[in-house]
Every structure is written in C-alpha cells, then in structure tokens.
C-alpha cells in the first residue's frame, strides 16, 4: 500500500478524529488541522506518540500551505447553538475554508473529499432524500447559514473541478454519532444520553413521532475512505452518507433509557419551529459507487456512545443544558 501524506481539516472533531486514527492504522502520514484554543485536544492528543501524526492549530478561513497527496475537508461548525449565534462565522468557515483547501488540493495536484451536509436539502416533503433532489429546499432559522455555506462550498468544488481539473468529491453527511462527541454537543443523541445518564428529564418538543436516522461514526469514516479511492471518472455527483433505517424520536429516547438503565422521564412540550417529519438518506448511490452501507446497528452504536459518555461524566466534563430535539437535527 502506498504511503501518503493526507491533510484532514476539522480533524479534531467527531468524524475527523476517527478518520485520522483510521488513516494512521493504514500506514499514512496525517496532518490534522483544526482551530482549538490551547494545546491539541484530547481527541487527537492520543496520536502524538505517532511520528506520522502532525497537529496544526490554524483558522481555516485564513490561507495556509502544506504538502498533501490527498485532502479531506471536514472543517465546519456542527453545533446548532453555533449556527444560531454566529451565522457569519458559519458561512465564513464553510466558504473561505473550502477555497483555502481547494487551493491546497489544486497546488498539490491532490484529490479532495469535501464533507457537505444533509442541511443543503432543506426540508423536503419526500421521506427519503436523494442526491437528485434539488438542493434548494427551505432551511429555516439558524439552519440557513449552514445550508447556504455548504451549498456554496459544493459549488466551489464543482467549479474547481470544471475550471482547474481538480479532482473533487462531495459527501453529503447525514446524522452521525459516536464516541469523541463532546458532552456539550447540542445534537439529539448527546442531549438524550447525557440527560439519561444524569437522571434528568428527556425533553421532546412536539409529538416525537417524527423520524430520523443515525449512522455510527466508524461507518461514516469507511464511506469517506472509499469515496477517496473511487476513480475520478466514476464520480458523477455528490454521494449521501448515512443510515437509511428510520426511528421515531420517541423510540430513540426510550431506547437510550433502556440501554443506559436510566430512570429519566420522557417529557413532551409544544413543538418549536419548522421541522421535517422525515430526514433519511437515499443511499442507493453509495451502495452502487462505493459498495458501502452501514454495518453497525443503532443498539450497538448507542451502547458504545453511552459507555464513552459515562467515562466523560466521571471525569467531570461539562454538560450542555437542553435544546429541543427538533432544533438539533
């Protein structure tokens, strides 16, 4: 296997940290670029004993240079709290970050995988979101910044591919979860798990009969690695990465209570804002192009996540107080 020097932007995040680890396991040299105050975060600090791992603290909105044979651009805010408070910064990170990493790829004649988001679809009426759907669905409130930023970044990837012949690939990531998620992450699984483990009420705004799907982080990473290896001629458009099995939010909350042995109550409050009834990826293209589909069951993934969160809680990690599940997806 050829050893490569691979740049992973956003490498300290959930998907990025797992991706860096997997690349090291495969014998590659990894440059993990992220912007975290102070020393390298715990998610990447464990790799420091490996001479093939380099952590670079840098704001992706500013130009930078490095040698790379391949680039994974995962740099983007993921917290709805951040989208809401800092929409300008959210747009800057996605748009300027895309420009800067595309320039790295172009200058090194490197292949680039860009991780876009299911948010670009907005709120479609279809229960299953296909890549062929027009990616201009309505995204209300704080979702607009992340959706528009991702759309612009996708357009830049396509423009570099057309004008400069840069080898770009786009992965549209749906809900991904797993260990290395901070307890302060405001998305639905961390919110429900921390509530269950601390005996607080699990709050669901609305009926809870809306459905979502959740993909274990290891499965998402495997899809990204396969997307990087696909021949350029085979890449015809973006690829949805996620789990196609739906679960209601009520069922998710009950499952987390059972798996964690919690006595938390499920409490329903009036619905908040506009949100879709379904948000599940059509992964037909991923199956055909990558020979991929998720292998980890929700029960197995939740058990791993709960165990990780139990450890973090025992270490005194802070907990983010509640947001509506509808605001977290």
Contact (CB, 8 A) for 75 and 36: no
Q: Is domain 5-176+215-241 in CATH 3.40.50.720, yes or no?
A: yes
Bridge-based pairing of strands 247-248 and 211-212 is antiparallel
Opening angle at CA 185, ends 46 and 95, nearest 5: 90
- pLDDT for the residue 44: 63
- In whole angstroms, what is the distance from residue 81 CA to residue 301 CA? 25
The pLDDT tens digits along the chain (329 residues) read 588 999 999 999 999 999 999 999 999 999 999 986 545 556 666 666 788 999 999 999 999 999 999 999 999 988 777 777 889 999 999 999 999 999 999 999 999 999 999 989 876 666 668 888 755 555 555 578 899 999 999 999 999 999 999 999 999 999 999 998 888 787 899 999 999 999 999 999 889 998 999 999 999 999 999 999 999 999 999 999 999 999 999 999 999 999 999 999 999 998 876 667 778 999 999 999 999 999 999 999 999 999 999 999 988 766 654 433 333 33
How far apart (Å, rounded) are the C-alpha atoms in residues 196 and 286?
A: 34
- Tell me: the pLDDT tens digits for 78-97? 877 777 788 999 999 999 99
| 3-class SS of residue 288 | helix
Beta strand residue intervals within 49-125, DSSP E: 53-57, 70-73, 111-117
pLDDT (0 to 100) of residue 132: 82
The tens digit of pLDDT for each residue in 11-46 reads: 999 999 999 999 999 999 999 999 865 455 566 666
Q: Is the torsion defined by CA of 182, 168, 125, 286 positive or negative? A: negative
3-state helix, strand, coil in the chain (%, to 5): 40, 15, 40
Instruction: Provide the residue ranges of all domains of the chain, joining segments of one domain with +.
Output: 5-176+215-241, 178-213+244-279+296-327
Looking at CATH, the fold of the domain delimited by 178-213+244-279+296-327 is given as UDP-galactose 4-epimerase; domain 1 (3.90.25)
Radius of gyration of the chain (CA): 19
Closest C-alpha to 260, from 303, 214, 315, 316: 303
Token pair belonging to 78 = 């993921």
**What is the value of pTM for the model shown?**
0.91
> What is the residue whose two structure tokens read 């500013």?
62
Query: Do 73 and 187 form a contact (C-beta atoms < 8 A)?
Result: no
314's CB contacts (< 8 A; 6+ apart) are none
Tokens read off for 36: 């975290």
């Amino acid at each position: 296997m050829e050893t490569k020097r691979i740049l992973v932007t956003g490498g300290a995040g959930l998907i990025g940290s797992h991706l860096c680890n997997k690349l090291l396991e495969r014998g590659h040299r990894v440059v993990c670029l992220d912007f975290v105050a102070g020393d390298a975060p715990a998610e990447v600090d464990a790799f420091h004993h490996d001479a093939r791992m380099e952590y670079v603290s840098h704001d992706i909105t500013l130009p930078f240079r490095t040698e790379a044979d391949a680039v994974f651009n995962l740099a983007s805010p993921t917290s709805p709290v951040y989208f809401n408070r800092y929409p300008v910064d959210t747009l800057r990170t996605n748009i300027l970050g895309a420009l800067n990493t595309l320039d790295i790829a172009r200058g090194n004649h490197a292949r680039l995988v860009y991780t876009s988001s299911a948010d670009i679809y907005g709120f479609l009426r279809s229960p299953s979101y296909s890549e062929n759907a027009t990616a201009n669905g309505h995204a209300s409130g704080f979702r607009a910044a992340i959706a528009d930023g991702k759309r612009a970044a996708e357009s830049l990837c396509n423009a570099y591919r057309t004008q400069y012949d840069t080898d770009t690939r786009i992965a549209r990531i749906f809900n991904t979860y797993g260990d290395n998620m901070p307890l302060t992450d405001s998305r639905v699984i961390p919110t429900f798990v921390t509530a269950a483990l601390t005996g607080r009420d699990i709050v669901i705004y609305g009926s809870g009969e809306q459905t979502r799907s959740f993909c274990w982080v290891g499965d998402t990473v495997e899809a990204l690695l396969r997307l990087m290896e696909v021949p350029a001629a085979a890449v015809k458009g973006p690829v949805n990465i996620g789990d196609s099995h739906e679960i209601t939010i009520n069922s998710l909350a009950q499952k987390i209570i059972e798996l964690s042995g919690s006595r938390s109550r499920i409490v329903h409050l009036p619905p908040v804002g506009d949100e879709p009834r379904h948000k599940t990826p059509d992964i037909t293209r991923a199956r055909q192009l990558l020979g991929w589909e998720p292998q980890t069951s929700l029960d197995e993934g939740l058990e791993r996540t709960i165990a990780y969160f139990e450890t973090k809680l025992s270490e005194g990690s802070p907990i983010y107080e509640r947001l509506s599940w509808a605001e977290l997806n």
